Amino acid sequence: MSLARRQFLQTAAATAAAMATVPRWAFAGEKKVVPYRISLAEWSLHKAIRGGELKNLDFARVSKEEFGINGIEYVSQLWEDKQAGSEYVGKVKQAAADAGVESVLIMVDSEGALGDADDAKRTQAIDNHKKWLEAAKELGCHAIRVNAQSSGSYAEQLALAADGLGRLGEIADQYGLNVLVENHGGLSSNGAWLAGVMKRVGRPNVGTLPDFGNFCISGRGTPEAVWYDRYQGMEELMPFAKAVSAKSYDFNEDGDAIETDYYRVMKIVLNHGYSGWVGIEYEGSAVGEYEGIKRTKALLEKIRDAA
């Protein structure tokens, strides 16, 4: 057993002992209040969807029937028409209602750089995201996930990204929605930089969606790859987190993730008082998407049940 796993279980045991003294009213309907809920990111099924085995409109049903997951996170680039037209959004909403699942958020890509150095392009990117805010509102989501692409020096990119995100956050506030930034390459995968952007924005509805695995700043898949320490990054991003992405690739014979120490990273998540959705985002290739989702869910459940 790894040191991190022993430490997590020791913390969980201490928590359980403390819970024994908690009054009965601290439990809802006599059930233990769980520290987080498990959702499914649509990207976990991107191969099946892009391969024609599934459609975006199948996502809600498959999440519930195949995996017993009640919260779903859409990916804009996997929608059939790649846009948030009202008629199509109605179909997505009905599919979720028919399956009995909750629409958590929409991950939005390819709508322009919110930190573009060109003022006009940055404004256009902000405007491009409005239709996804409208779709998220209609679906009952709490947020859209966006990216913080920019260019220039460290400080210049921080200022530009903060401007674009802050302005989008003002618009999102009108919809009662959050704007969440994922560590997704470039400086956004530098935990200190993205935390600095959040502090610069200073809006309660603009936060982060920390992803366990997306801490490669450049050169991913090459010998020259530059990586930011994922555990340090999680510590820096969790104070602003309103969603969490449980990225997974491969697993060992005990069912534990190989690339990320889930016990260590989930201890960080819980130590920051997080109790929202933790979204499964399987990207491995050793097993198929369905099996990878099931293994990630089993690992998250094992950790949750010990907490």
Backbone angles phi, psi at 214, to 5 degrees: -90, 55
Residues 9-35, mean pLDDT to the nearest whole number:
45
Sorted by sequence, the CB contacts under 8 Å of residue 176 that are 6+ apart come out as 137
The yes-or-no verdict on residue 19 having pLDDT over 90 is no
- Output 213 or 278, whichever has higher pLDDT: 278
Pairwise CA distance, residues 100 & 280, whole Å: 19
Q: How buried is 67 (Cβ within 10 angstroms: 0-12 exposed, 13-18 middle, 19+ buried)?
A: middle
- For 244-266, letters b (16+ CB in 10 Å) and e give bbbbbbebeeeebbeebbbbbbb
What pLDDT, on a 0 to 100 scale, did the predictor assign at position 306? Answer: 85
Residues 120-129, mean pLDDT to the nearest whole number:
98
* Beta-ladder partners of 40: 72, 280
What pLDDT, on a 0 to 100 scale, did the predictor assign at position 28? Answer: 38
What pLDDT, on a 0 to 100 scale, did the predictor assign at position 10? Answer: 56
Domains of the chain, with CATH numbers?
3-11+37-306 (3.20.20.150)
Backbone angles phi, psi at 114, to 5 degrees: -70, -15
Query: At 270, is the secondary structure helix, strand, or coil?
Result: helix
Q: Which range has the worst mean pLDDT, 198-207, 211-220, 266-275?
A: 211-220
Q: How confident is the model at residue 22 (pLDDT cuts 50, 70, 90)?
A: very low
What pLDDT, on a 0 to 100 scale, did the predictor assign at position 15? Answer: 43
Dump pLDDT digits (tens) for 155-178.
Answer: 999 999 999 999 999 999 999 999
Query: At 86, is the secondary structure helix, strand, or coil?
Result: helix
The yes-or-no verdict on residue 154 having pLDDT over 70 is yes
What pLDDT, on a 0 to 100 scale, did the predictor assign at position 2? Answer: 60
Sorted by sequence, the CB contacts under 8 Å of residue 103 that are 6+ apart come out as 72, 74, 92, 93, 96, 136, 139, 140, 141
Q: How confident is the model at residue 127 (pLDDT cuts 50, 70, 90)?
A: very high
* Beta-ladder partners of 216: 227
Residues 13-24, mean pLDDT to the nearest whole number:
39
Q: How buried is 197 (Cβ within 10 angstroms: 0-12 exposed, 13-18 middle, 19+ buried)?
A: buried
Q: Are 144 and 179 in contact (CB under 8 A)?
A: yes
What pLDDT, on a 0 to 100 scale, did the predictor assign at position 27? Answer: 32
What pLDDT, on a 0 to 100 scale, did the predictor assign at position 32? Answer: 54
In the predicted model, what is the mean pLDDT of the chain? 90
Residues 279-303, mean pLDDT to the nearest whole number:
97
Residue found under tokens 């020791």? 10
pTM of the model: 0.88
Among residues 289, 297, 237, 287, which one has the least CA distance to residue 262? 297
The yes-or-no verdict on residue 7 having pLDDT over 80 is no
What pLDDT, on a 0 to 100 scale, did the predictor assign at position 145? Answer: 98
Amino acid at 286: A
What pLDDT, on a 0 to 100 scale, did the predictor assign at position 83? Answer: 67
* Beta-ladder partners of 37: 277
For residue 232, what are its two tokens? Answer: 């340090």
